[in-house]
Structure 1
């Protein structure tokens, strides 16, 4: 069986937001040497301005910025660009800080110091899943919930529920196996990557966010008009 071709990295635009000159230059140079179209911004304000006139596929975001809170940058760009892949770069090792980053809209995180090799592996894992074409599939219906995996739409009682990319993919895996217990290993392999390594905390935060969105949507639909 033929192995799927790796994604053409030159198609992916990466915005690096890092105030440390050494780290920022290393990331920009390293990404470009591996054929990513990388742009480096030293401030959150500069990154927000950059993202208004250029469409990016990936945001590598340092949380400790000199001008604005990195979490606010993540929230703003997630709201503007729901399909943007956001990976947080942080020196903060406490669980609460990492969870706050993921809850602000990030898809993944890396704790400093990390190697370029690790970052590139994470990027390949995320981008590979986004570039695999799937044939047209019939929507999945579970009660009042309808999931159109081809159009990437989630509807509850006929109303669209906006989901982040990983929330949608997680729901799709669970919906396909409705009624069955699904292991963490299976979820990480199917939603993130079969060769994933490191913490699976991102799964817990994504699951919590998905539950919250579905619960709010269900409560809203139950309210009298």
Structure 2
């Protein structure tokens, strides 16, 4: 069964989320504090997706996300927030989140977001090839990226973006195309998620992130992979 961590300090909201995820076929692991969530992940290394509330009694969800990412680049992370300020979304993505859902939300929307992230995590596990575009090597079975022989830690969304770029070298890709390819046709979020994840990816792969040589911007349209 697909296993997911639900971190939410309000018991009634957590119970509501857990009931609906159980109905959708997920096995849920519950936590009410950041420390409890980190401990549950240690005890349950097979958790593939974590749903993190931002407002918590001991630490905020951004810090939980940072700590998870420090030791696990493969797990999918969705931030759950009651706040709608743009900086909250940007902060969540820059700390390593893959998606966000804003309260109030419908069970169908939340489940759809989790389903989409789960598909991205397991999408091409049987592929055993490599894409080599020096100085990069993308291993599509291990879902890893190396630059000049050095491993670069990627989130699952960052891996999907790199795979898309390296499969389409030199092609100008619109933000809409990237959103559809990486997040799926039924994604209900904003285009800005593309820009924030590209910014985060540039920090990891570019020699000079402020003057990118590999992921170039097509102003008013999208991005292009140069190699």
- Taking structure 1 as the reference length, what is the TM-score of the superposition? 0.86
Partner of 1:151: 142
Partner Cα distance (2:158, 2:35) in 1: 28
| RMSD (CA atoms) | 1.8
Cα displacement (A) at 1:149: 2.0
Superposed, 1:72-221 pairs within 5 Å as 72-133=63-124, 136=127, 138-216=129-207
Measured against aligned partners, the alpha-carbon deviations of 1:141-172 in whole angstroms (never above 9, x if no partner) come to: 32322222233221222222221111111011
**Which shifted more, 138-147 or 34-43?**
138-147
The structure with the largest alpha-carbon Rg is 1
Gaps of 5+ in 1: 1-10, 219-225
TM superposition shift of 1:136: 3.8
Partner of 2:43: 53
Q: Contact 1:156–1:217 at 8 Å: present in 2 too?
A: no
Name the count of aligned residue pairs. 208
CA shift for structure 1 position 114: 0.5
Give the helix-richer structure, 1 or 2. 1
The 1:159/1:96 distance shift into structure 2, 3 A limit, reads same
Which of the pair is proportionally richer in strand? Answer: 2
The answer for unaligned runs of 5 or more in structure 2 is 210-227
